[in-house]
Structure 1
Amino acid sequence: MKITIVAGARPNFMKIAPITHAIDNAREQGKEISYRLIYTGESNDSSLEPSLFVDLDIKKPVAYLGVGFEDLTQRAGGIMIAFEKELKENPTNVVLVVDDLTSTMACAIVAKKQNIKVAHLVAGTRSFDMSMPKEVNRMITDGLSDFLFTAGMGANRNLNQTGTGNEQVFFVGNILMDSLRYNRNRFIKPITFDILGLKEKAYILLTINRHALLENKENFKLLIESLIAESKGTPIVAPLHNYVRDVINELNIKAPNLHVLPSQSYLSFGYLTSKAKAIITDSGNIAEEATFLGIPCVTLNSYVEHPETCSIGTNELVGEDAEQLGNAMAKILRGEWKQGGLPERWDGRTADRIVQTLLQQV
């Protein structure tokens, strides 16, 4: 069986890496299975730092479609044209797409038009907000997929409500936990950790990625100032992309305990995540990792892709409300945060379940 795996952005590789490891293991056991890893962007994409593939212990993509339009419609069209050529030149049995990007939807459409089976990894997630492009991508991709791999029973229910057949849905768990389990002993302490005099479980990790959060600069400033005020001097470590650092500099946000760092490699960022006292983030992926690691987490959003992080895990939503963020910080520092647990099948063995399913079904 031949599988074409599609990545459309850097975060996809954290979910793809365990799949490639599981395929390699299955092949070593004599199974007839192989994969071809494709990246829809350009080979010189600045978001793919040279260390990424070494950190994840995977091979680089064998092909780059080279599509990088800012406009989502142009991007979808460019990817569809390039991916159609890729599939004609390199026939496959299954196209595996990840998450909810424009590339996810575009490649799923092309595969189905060529009568190729589609597997959707992290299927069934919903915001129920059709004004979000990602929600449209999710709906279309799920509707086209032959294999829908879900991380939780909430996602199963979402699919069931849209009429998806139960025989197409496979509750396999959260693939991000596979990457954490595989790499936890490989994490690398950043040089700045000792330079700043940081201590394990004695600092707050802050991550910001959503452009929408930065658009209201006045409110963003209130959020960061609330975090600083309620931290009571606890170091705040913030590895941020350039566009976020620019906003912080523009707003002249400064504090002795706020340490703004450049973006970190996967293994260095993993170390900072795993050793933090608490995490403040706008990323659903990081909230999921915090749940696996048992670390208190506050998410600056009004919804989360995997509600299990809140209902079972260590995560709580505060929207974009500075007062709620301050209250959450105070609760963390008082040691009153909920203990949390591990959702079902978030055990680091999701990739094995996926590969086994494909071997049985295709």
Structure 2
Amino acid sequence: MKITIIAGARPNFMKIAPLARAIKSASEAGKEISYRLVYTGSKNDTSIEPSLFSDLNLTPPDSYLEVESDNFFKRTADIIVAFADELDKHPANAVIVVDDFTPTMACSLVAKKKGIKVVHLVAGIRSFDMNKPKEVNRMIIDGLSDILFTAGMDANRNLSNTGTDINNIYFVGNILIDTLRLSLPNITRPVNFDILGIKENDYVLLTLNKRDIINNDEKLKEIINTIINSSSKKIVAPLHSYVKSKIESLGLKSDRLLIIQPQSYLSFIYAAKNASAIVTDSGNIAEEATFMNVPCITLDNYTEHNETVTSGTNLLIGEDYSRIKESMEKIAKGEWKNSTLPERWDGRTSERIVQILLEEI
């Protein structure tokens, strides 16, 4: 069985790495299975640091489609043409796509048109807001998929409610946790921490990536000022240069606001694990915080994995940023909600996936 795995953005690699290892292990055990990893972006993509593949113990992609347009329609069209050519040169029995990015959707369409099985990893996510581009992608990808791997029972229900054949849905667990479990013994303290005098469990970790926050001056001001005024701890913020520049241009300053460069995967996990609290707009970080039992405040009213809220350490505050202060006070008093590990967050998701692939394809 030949499998092509698609990566369309940096976060995909954290979910692909354990699957690649599980496929390799099955192959070494005598199973007829192999994979080819395709990245739809450029080999020189600045969002992918050189250490990423070594941190994840993942072989770099076998192929780069070199599509980099910011225009949705051009990017989609270019990926469709490039991936069709890739499959002509390297036929596959199945194409595995991850999450809900535009490349995920484009490659699903190519595979389906070529009569190749489409396998969606982290299927069934819904915001129920069709004005969000990712929601459109999700509906298309799930509709095209022959096998749908879900991370939670909410996703199973979403798929069933939209008419997906239950025989094609498999609740395998959260594959991001496979990577996290394997990586925790190898995490490394960021060099910046020693330089800046940052002590474990004595800082708030802040991450910001979503454009609707970064490009909204009023939102950004309120978030940064509220965090600064809500805690006496240092605020460690690994931010891209354009976010740092935006914060500086707005005159948002504090001796406790420490903006550092984006970290490697293993260094970032160290920073997250040893924070007293995390404030983020990232769903992946909320999942990691739940597994590591770190209080997490998400700057949104929606999360891809509701179990981080119902079982885990995550709290959604929407755009009511005044709730940051209230939340910080609870954390300082040790009054944060109790957390339990969601079902099948056991680090064996990739093994379950490979077993199903061997049985179904």
Specify the TM-score bucket, using the shorter chain as the normaliser: over 0.9
User: What is the CA–CA distance in structure 2 between the aligned matches of 1:6 and 1:100, rounded to whole Å?
Assistant: 12
Structure 1 residue 197: Cα displacement: 1.8
Residue of structure 2 equivalent to 1:357: 356
Residue of structure 2 equivalent to 1:4: 4
How high is the TM-score relative to the length of structure 2?
0.99
Residue of structure 2 equivalent to 1:224: 224
Structure 1 residue 334: Cα displacement: 1.4
User: What is the CA–CA distance in structure 2 between the aligned matches of 1:333 and 1:280, rounded to whole Å?
Assistant: 14
Residue of structure 1 equivalent to 2:336: 337
Structure 1 residue 327: Cα displacement: 1.1
Structure 1 residue 27: Cα displacement: 1.1
User: What is the CA–CA distance in structure 1 between the aligned matches of 2:190 and 2:223, rounded to whole Å?
Assistant: 26
User: What is the CA–CA distance in structure 1 between the aligned matches of 2:198 and 2:105, rounded to whole Å?
Assistant: 43
Residue of structure 2 equivalent to 1:321: 320
User: What is the CA–CA distance in structure 2 between the aligned matches of 1:178 and 1:135, rounded to whole Å?
Assistant: 26
User: What is the CA–CA distance in structure 1 between the aligned matches of 2:347 and 2:92, rounded to whole Å?
Assistant: 27
Moved more, 92-101 or 332-341: 332-341
- Match of 2:328, as an amino acid? M
Residue of structure 2 equivalent to 1:159: 159
Structure 1 residue 33: Cα displacement: 0.8
User: What is the CA–CA distance in structure 2 between the aligned matches of 1:322 and 1:113, rounded to whole Å?
Assistant: 45
Structure 1 residue 321: Cα displacement: 2.0
Residue of structure 2 equivalent to 1:80: 80
User: What is the CA–CA distance in structure 2 between the aligned matches of 1:130 and 1:246, rounded to whole Å?
Assistant: 32
Asked whether 1:138 is paired with 2:138, we answer yes
Asked whether 1:203 is paired with 2:199, we answer no
User: What is the CA–CA distance in structure 1 between the aligned matches of 2:72 and 2:347, rounded to whole Å?
Assistant: 33
User: What is the CA–CA distance in structure 2 between the aligned matches of 1:139 and 1:218, rounded to whole Å?
Assistant: 33
- Match of 1:12, as an amino acid? N
User: What is the CA–CA distance in structure 1 between the aligned matches of 2:242 and 2:151, rounded to whole Å?
Assistant: 31
Once the two structures are superposed, the pairs formed by residues 238-317 of structure 1 within 5 Å of their partners are 238-317=237-316
User: What is the CA–CA distance in structure 1 between the aligned matches of 2:30 and 2:199, rounded to whole Å?
Assistant: 47
Structure 1 residue 126: Cα displacement: 0.6
Once the two structures are superposed, the pairs formed by residues 118-197 of structure 1 within 5 Å of their partners are 118-197=118-197
Per-residue CA shift, 1:250-281, capped at 9, x if unaligned?
11111111110010111111110111111100
Unmatched 5+ stretches in structure 1 = none
- Match of 1:253, as an amino acid? L
| Residue correspondences, number | 361
Residue of structure 1 equivalent to 2:215: 215
Structure 1 residue 219: Cα displacement: 2.2
1:178 is paired with a residue whose SS is helix
- Match of 1:88, as an amino acid? D
User: What is the CA–CA distance in structure 2 between the aligned matches of 1:320 and 1:330, rounded to whole Å?
Assistant: 18
Residue of structure 2 equivalent to 1:105: 105
Moved more, 194-203 or 207-216: 194-203
- Match of 1:323, as an amino acid? S
Q: After the TM superposition, which segments of 4 or more aligned residues of structure 1 sit over 4 Å from their partners? A: none
2:5 is paired with a residue whose SS is strand
User: What is the CA–CA distance in structure 2 between the aligned matches of 1:325 and 1:51, rounded to whole Å?
Assistant: 34
User: What is the CA–CA distance in structure 2 between the aligned matches of 1:338 and 1:11, rounded to whole Å?
Assistant: 28
Structure 1 residue 193: Cα displacement: 1.3
Structure 1 residue 320: Cα displacement: 2.2
Residue of structure 2 equivalent to 1:114: 114
2:154 is paired with a residue whose SS is helix
- Match of 1:25, as an amino acid? S
- Match of 1:324, as an amino acid? R
Structure 1 residue 150: Cα displacement: 0.4
Structure 1 vs Structure 2 CA RMSD: 0.8
How high is the TM-score relative to the length of structure 1?
0.98
Asked whether 1:33 is paired with 2:33, we answer yes
User: What is the CA–CA distance in structure 1 between the aligned matches of 2:213 and 2:334, rounded to whole Å?
Assistant: 28
- Identical residues among aligned pairs (%): 58
User: What is the CA–CA distance in structure 2 between the aligned matches of 1:334 and 1:91, rounded to whole Å?
Assistant: 58
User: What is the CA–CA distance in structure 2 between the aligned matches of 1:245 and 1:48, rounded to whole Å?
Assistant: 19
2:300 is paired with a residue whose SS is coil
1:290 is paired with a residue whose SS is helix
User: What is the CA–CA distance in structure 1 between the aligned matches of 2:167 and 2:302, rounded to whole Å?
Assistant: 28
Structure 1 residue 322: Cα displacement: 2.0
Q: Is the 8 A contact 1:108 1:144 kept in 2?
A: yes
Q: Is the 8 A contact 1:223 1:320 kept in 2?
A: no
Moved more, 195-204 or 179-188: 195-204
Structure 1 residue 176: Cα displacement: 0.7
1:141 is paired with a residue whose SS is helix
2:107 is paired with a residue whose SS is helix
2:336 is paired with a residue whose SS is coil
1:343 is paired with a residue whose SS is coil
User: What is the CA–CA distance in structure 1 between the aligned matches of 2:52 and 2:159, rounded to whole Å?
Assistant: 33
Per-residue CA shift, 1:139-187, capped at 9, x if unaligned?
0000000110000000000000000011100000111101101111111
User: What is the CA–CA distance in structure 1 between the aligned matches of 2:52 and 2:214, rounded to whole Å?
Assistant: 26
1:205 is paired with a residue whose SS is strand
1:80 is paired with a residue whose SS is helix
